[in-house]
A and B are shown apart, each in its own frame.
Chain A
Amino acid sequence: KAGVTQTPRYLIKTRGQQVTLSCSPISGHRSVSWYQQTPGQGLQFLFEYFSETQRNKGNFPGRFSGRQFSNSRSEMNVSTLELGDSALYLCASSLDRSSYEQYFGPGTRLTVT
């Protein structure tokens, strides 16, 4: 079974631009969570989607948003990029909301210049 895939793997953007990251969960998995990983803040939870609905949200500004499609694929969007948004963005999928086994993708490395 294929793992979690994330595209693109690397991205360079300029301050003020916006970016969209994509995540395809493991086949059959319906819950997708997003995390931001930085050297200073570590791994921080962004949001969780299940059945195309946001179920949980971390403490991030409204510039960070996401969505989930009917096939469970998910996208996250960051608008008006800031230098501090440079990070590794990780997507994790799990079977459903009662399963706490999360499987992570390789991440998207975003650099904001």
Chain B
Amino acid sequence: AQSVTQPDIHITVSEGASLELRCNYSYGATPYLFWYVQSPGQGLQLLLKYFSGDTLVQGIKGFEAEFKRSQSSFNLRKPSVHWSDAAEYFCAVGVKGQNFVFGPGTRLSVLP
């Protein structure tokens, strides 16, 4: 069955530290891959997406993600975290003709 996992439920980092959020998927073919961010009480905002081509994709707010086919992973990174990055982050996959599947989310806390 298709699935998306985000192994870390909650991550705490200090402001200015680097960040990596993990995402793994299980699909028969390479799906379209996305990262979304959700602030409390808000909807989801698209951070970045991967469809094909260069496996390192740049997104908004200084985020980037790397697709690794051999590991079925699409990890999100940021070199220096800001306090405003505290939010919940969702990895999502889409396959043509099928609905999106979201991971369970990773809650990011940022220490001053």
- Chain A residues 54 to 113 lying within 8 A of chain B, measured CB to CB, are 56, 58, 90, 92, 100-107
Chain A: interface size category = 10 to 19
* Whole-angstrom CA separation of A52 from B51 in the bound complex: 27
CB distance from A49 to the nearest CB of B (A): 12
**18 interchain pairs (CB within 8 A)?**
A35-B102, A42-B102, A42-B104, A42-B105, A90-B43, A90-B44, A100-B32, A100-B34, A100-B49, A100-B51, A101-B46, A101-B49, A102-B46, A102-B100, A103-B46, A104-B36, A104-B44, A106-B42
Q: Are A56 and B99 in contact (CB under 8 A)?
A: yes
B: residues with CB less than 8 A from A are: 32, 34, 36, 41-46, 49, 51, 90, 94, 98-105
Using CB atoms and an 8 Å cutoff, list the residues of chain A in contact with chain B: 4, 33, 35, 42-43, 45, 48, 56, 58, 90, 92, 100-107
Q: What are the 3 A-B residue pairs with the smallest beta carbon separation, nearest first?
A: A104-B43, A43-B102, A104-B44
- Verify B43–A48 contact, CB threshold 8 A: no
Q: Which residue of B lies closest to A58 (CB)?
A: B99
In the complex, the answer to whether A104 meets B45 with C-beta atoms within 8 Å is yes
**Closest chain A CB from B23 CB (angstroms):** 14
* Neighbour of A4 across the interface among B34, B43, B94, B102, CB < 8 A: B43
In the bound complex, how far is the Cα of B42 from the Cα of A43, in angstroms? 14
Known: A42-B105, A100-B94. A107 touches B43 (CB 8 A): yes
Q: From A45, which residue of chain B is reached at the shortest CB distance?
A: B99
